[in-house]
């Protein structure tokens, strides 16, 4: 703990499609503050960020798209096939990512920090870590995941796995190896056991325990409160979503367990019964709430206010800069309620900050309405 007194830093790495991000999300559920260093790299050369002009000066204006941003696909194609170009990009981005990481760690209130980076061991971020965790999976599984999740051909997926350094070299220096070949439940048990083993002062004996503050109870009724969902609630969550979506989303407990690898759930209770939920995540310092389901008989204004404010409170602990809500149908029409909560209808291209636009574009569809609220002004990697 020599780098930041009172903080324990886990460095999380592993080759592509071995499950780093899922493990990072699980550690977040267990109470860690997590940082996606690769996402910070993209922020480092976004328009207006400190690395923007340096990337253009090094590689040329041909990388700029019609919005004035650096086209990440063009840049990626360049550096993935040219080791010298990759080294130039890393020389620009790595110091900025290190600076941003330090800012986030200093601002965090959590004692355990997780830094996910695919090149953690090759850079100086390795030196700030108290423990190195490596996710591991056979090449065949990596290839199948890339084909299924990213739409790559088998040839493309195989090429991408071979572009990276040997997985065995990462495993050799790891303090903890997480083998990701089976179900979410199996992976969760591995991560929980490793958490208990290596994180100092943890007294978390149950592998499905999720941390949260005292439930929010509105003084006016004394009946509603919100708590963080746990994997052991997966059956109830699946039933609620399946029923309240009127069959448009048929969920099983296994589906929900898989979703815990990407998002968290806030559960709204009334008279000790779950009457609503919000499915949300903070990724790249942006909150995205993609699921809101509420029983028809409850007070819509009160329940929405309690649920969304608790998502925002939890998001603030994760240093989120903006909240994006993707509302469907009747909920999207509640303009007065959303206005009172500080949200306004937007389109992704009007959000102004590239990271926010990217987060919105990944989710936005013709079937939902994007609602936006800025949560904090002091963004990392903002130009000085």
Torsion sign over Cα 327, 332, 334, 340:
positive
**Tokens 């056991």 appear where?**
193
Q: What is the pTM for the complete model shown?
A: 0.89
Mean of the pLDDT values across residues 25-44? 95
Q: What is the pLDDT of residue 202?
A: 52
Q: What is the pLDDT of residue 220?
A: 40
Q: What is the pLDDT of residue 247?
A: 82
Q: What is the pLDDT of residue 91?
A: 95
Average pLDDT, the chain: 90
Strands 344-345 and 264-270, by their bridges, are unpaired
Sheet with 8-13, strands from edge to edge, namely: 33-36, 112-116, 8-13, 131-136, 176-179
Q: What is the pLDDT of residue 206?
A: 44
| Number of residues that make up the chain | 384
Give the C-alpha distances (Å, rounded to integers) separating 329 from 292, 325, 335, 366, 370. 11, 13, 12, 11, 12
Taking alpha carbons only, the member of 25, 9, 18, 28 closest to residue 177 is 18
Segment 257-310, tens digit of pLDDT: 999 999 999 999 998 899 999 999 999 999 999 999 999 999 999 999 999 999
Alpha-carbon distance of 272 to 243, in angstroms, equals 19
CA 159, 162, 164: angle at the middle one, nearest 5?
125
Label residue 380 by pLDDT band (50, 70, 90): confident
Mean of the pLDDT values across residues 314-341? 96
List domains and CATH numbers for the chain: 8-198 (3.40.50.300), 224-374 (3.40.630.30)
Q: What is the pLDDT of residue 210?
A: 33
Write down the number of H helices and E strands in the chain: 15, 12
Residue 223 has pLDDT above 90, yes or no: no
Q: Which residues of 280-302 are buried (b: 16+ CB within 10 A; e: fewer)?
A: bbbbbbbbbbbbbbbbeebeeeb
Q: What is the pLDDT of residue 5?
A: 86
Q: What is the CA radius of gyration of the chain?
A: 21
Q: What is the pLDDT of residue 200?
A: 56
Distant-in-sequence, close-in-space partners of 200: CB < 8 Å, separation ≥ 6: 8
Mean of the pLDDT values across residues 125-132? 93
Of all residues in the chain, the percent with pLDDT exceeding 70 is 93
Strand positions, DSSP E, the chain: 8-13, 33-36, 112-116, 131-136, 176-179, 224-228, 264-270, 273-283, 286-294, 322-327, 344-345, 369-374
Mean of the pLDDT values across residues 203-227? 51
Residue 165 has pLDDT above 70, yes or no: yes
Residue 125 has pLDDT above 70, yes or no: yes
Label residue 1 by pLDDT band (50, 70, 90): very low
Residue 134, SS3 per DSSP: strand
Q: What is the pLDDT of residue 101?
A: 94
Residue 347 has pLDDT above 70, yes or no: yes
């Amino acid at each position: 703990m020599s780098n930041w007194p009172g903080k324990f830093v886990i460095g999380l790495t592993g080759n592509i499609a071995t499950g780093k991000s899922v493990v990072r999300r699980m550690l977040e559920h267990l109470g860690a503050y997590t940082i996606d260093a690769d996402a910070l790299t993209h922020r480092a050369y976004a328009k207006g960020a400190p690395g923007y002009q340096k990337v253009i000066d090094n590689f040329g204006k041909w990388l700029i798209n019609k919005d004035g941003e650096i086209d990440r696909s063009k840049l990626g194609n360049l550096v993935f096939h040219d080791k010298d170009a990759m080294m130039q990009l890393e020389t620009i981005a790595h110091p900025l990512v290190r600076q941003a990481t330090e800012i986030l760690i200093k601002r965090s209130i959590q004692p355990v920090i997780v830094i996910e980076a695919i090149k953690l061991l090759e850079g100086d971020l390795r030196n700030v870590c108290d423990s190195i965790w490596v996710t591991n999976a056979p090449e065949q599984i990596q290839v199948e995941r890339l084909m299924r999740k990213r739409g790559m051909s088998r040839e493309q997926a195989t090429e991408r796995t071979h572009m990276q350094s040997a997985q065995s070299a990462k495993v050799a220096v790891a303090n903890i190896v997480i083998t990701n070949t089976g179900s979410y439940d199996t992976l969760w048990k591995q991560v929980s056991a490793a958490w208990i083993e290596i994180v100092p002062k943890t007294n978390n004996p149950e592998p499905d325990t999720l941390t949260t503050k005292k439930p929010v109870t509105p003084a006016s009724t004394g009946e509603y409160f919100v708590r963080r969902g746990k994997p052991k609630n997966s059956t109830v969550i699946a039933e609620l979503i399946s029923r309240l979506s009127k069959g448009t989303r048929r969920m099983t407990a296994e589906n929900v367990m898989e979703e815990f690898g990407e998002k968290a759930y806030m559960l709204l209770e009334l008279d000790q019964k779950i009457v609503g939920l919000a499915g949300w995540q903070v990724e790249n310092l942006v909150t995205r709430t993609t699921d809101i389901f509420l029983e028809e008989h409850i007070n819509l204004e009160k329940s929405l206010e309690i649920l969304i404010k608790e998502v925002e409170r939890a998001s603030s602990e994760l240093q989120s800069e903006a909240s994006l809500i993707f509302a469907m149908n009747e909920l999207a029409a509640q303009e007065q309620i959303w206005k009172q909560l500080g949200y306004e209808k937007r389109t992704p291209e009007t959000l102004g900050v590239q990271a926010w636009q990217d987060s919105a574009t990944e989710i936005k569809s013709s079937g939902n309405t994007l609602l936006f609220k800025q949560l904090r002004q002091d963004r990392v990697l903002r130009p000085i």
